[in-house]
Chain A
Amino acid sequence: MFELIFFSLLNGIVTGLLLFMLASGLTLIFSMMGVLNFAHASFYMLGAYVAYTISLYLGFWVGLIVAPLVVGVLGAVVERYGLRHVHRWGHVAELIFTFGLAFLIEEIVQFIWGKDTKAYHEPEILQFPLFTFFGQNFPAYKAFMLLISIGIFIALLLVLTRSRIGLIIQAAITRPNMTAMLGHNVPLVFMGVFGMGCALAGLAGVIAGPALGTFPGMAVVLGSIVFVIVVVGGLGSLGGAFIASLLIGLLQTFAIALDYSVSDILVAFNITTDAESAFRDLWTLSLPQIAPILPYLLLVLILIFRPTGLFGKRES
Chain B
Amino acid sequence: MSDIAKVQNAVMSASFLKRFGPWLLLALGLIVLPFFFSSNIAVYTMNLMGIFIIFALSYNMLLGQGGMLSFGHAVYFGLGGFMSVHFMNYIEADIFVVPVVIVPIFGGLIGLLFAVIVGSFSTRRAGTVFAMISLGIGELIASCSLIFVAFFGGEEGISADRTMGPEVMGVDFAQDIEVYYLIAVWAFITIALMYLFSRTPMGRMANAVRDNDERIEFIGYSQRKVRFISFCASGFFAGIAGGLFAINFEIVTEENLNALTSGVVLLMAYIGGVGFFVGPIVGAVVFTLLQTLLSNYTEIWQLYVGVLFVSTVMYAPQGLTGLIAMHIPAFKMKRLRVLAVPYVRAGIPTLLLLAGISGFLETIHHVRSAAVGETTMSLLGIEFDTHTIMPWIIIAVLVVVGGYLTKTQMPQLREAWDEANAPLKSDEGGAS
Chains A and B share a contact (CB less than 8 Å): yes
State whether A224 touches B313 (Cβ < 8 A): no
The A/B interface has a contact count, at CB < 8 Å, of 114
State whether A227 touches B132 (Cβ < 8 A): yes
State whether A292 touches B143 (Cβ < 8 A): yes
State whether B67 touches A304 (Cβ < 8 A): no
**Cβ-defined partner of A315 (8 Å) among B125, B143, B307:** B125
Is A222's CB within 8 Å of the partner chain B? no
**Cβ-defined partner of B310 (8 Å) among A97, A111, A282, A304:** A97
State whether A36 touches B128 (Cβ < 8 A): yes
Nearest chain A CB to B199 CB, angstrom units: 23
Is B303's CB within 8 Å of the partner chain A? yes
Q: How far is the CA of A107 from the CA of B365 in the complex (A)?
A: 12
Is A271's CB within 8 Å of the partner chain B? no
State whether B139 touches A82 (Cβ < 8 A): no
**Which segment, of B76-84, B146-154, B383-391, B413-421, faces chain A?**
B146-154
Q: Which residue on chain A has the smallest CB distance to residue B69?
A: A92
Which residues of chain A come closer than 8 Å to B140, judged between CB atoms? 293, 296-297, 300
Q: How far is the CA of A279 from the CA of B140 in the complex (A)?
A: 18
Contact string against A for B residues 312-324, beta-carbon threshold 8 Å, 1 for contact and 0 otherwise: 0110010000000
Is B21's CB within 8 Å of the partner chain A? no
Most A CB within 10 A of own CB, among B69, B127, B136 = B136
State whether A278 touches B150 (Cβ < 8 A): yes
Do A99 and B263 contact each other (CB < 8 Å), given the known contacts A104-B306, A281-B148, A315-B128?
yes
Do A235 and B314 contact each other (CB < 8 Å), given the known contacts A103-B263, A279-B150, A296-B140?
no
Q: How far is the CA of A278 from the CA of B150 in the complex (A)?
A: 6
Nearest chain A CB to B395 CB, angstrom units: 16
**Cβ-defined partner of B314 (8 Å) among A97, A110, A281, A290:** A97
Q: Which residue on chain A has the smallest CB distance to residue B304?
A: A107
Q: How far is the CA of A139 from the CA of B352 in the complex (A)?
A: 55
Is A186's CB within 8 Å of the partner chain B? no
Main secondary structure of the interface of A (DSSP, over half): helix
Which residues of chain A come closer than 8 Å to B144, judged between CB atoms? 293
State whether B302 touches A300 (Cβ < 8 A): no
State whether A281 touches B150 (Cβ < 8 A): yes
Nearest chain B CB to A273 CB, angstrom units: 13
Nearest chain B CB to A244 CB, angstrom units: 13
State whether B143 touches A293 (Cβ < 8 A): yes
Do A103 and B306 contact each other (CB < 8 Å), given the known contacts A85-B314, A278-B150, A289-B147?
yes
Which residues of chain B come closer than 8 Å to A235, judged between CB atoms? 128
Q: How far is the CA of A303 from the CA of B63 in the complex (A)?
A: 20
Q: How far is the CA of A100 from the CA of B266 in the complex (A)?
A: 10
State whether A91 touches B314 (Cβ < 8 A): no
Q: How far is the CA of A279 from the CA of B310 in the complex (A)?
A: 43
State whether B147 touches A100 (Cβ < 8 A): no
Contact string against B for A residues 278-311, beta-carbon threshold 8 Å, 1 for contact and 0 otherwise: 1111100100011011001101100110010000
Nearest chain B CB to A53 CB, angstrom units: 15
Is A95's CB within 8 Å of the partner chain B? yes
Q: Which residue on chain A has the smallest CB distance to residue B315?
A: A85
Most B CB within 10 A of own CB, among A104, A231, A292 = A104
Instruction: Report A77-95 residues with CB < 8 Å from chain B CB.
Output: 82, 85-86, 89, 91-93, 95
Chain B interfacial positions (CB closer than 8 Å to A): 63, 67, 69, 71, 121, 125, 127-129, 131-133, 135-137, 139-140, 143-144, 147-151, 259, 263, 266-267, 270, 300, 302-303, 306-307, 309-310, 313-314, 317, 361, 365, 368
Q: Give the 8 A-B CB pairs with smallest separation, nearest first.
A: A104-B306, A316-B128, A299-B136, A300-B136, A107-B303, A293-B143, A89-B317, A100-B309
A and B contact pairs by CB, cutoff 8 A, 15 listed: A36-B131, A91-B127, A97-B314, A99-B266, A100-B309, A103-B309, A104-B310, A108-B306, A111-B300, A224-B135, A289-B147, A290-B147, A299-B133, A303-B129, A304-B133
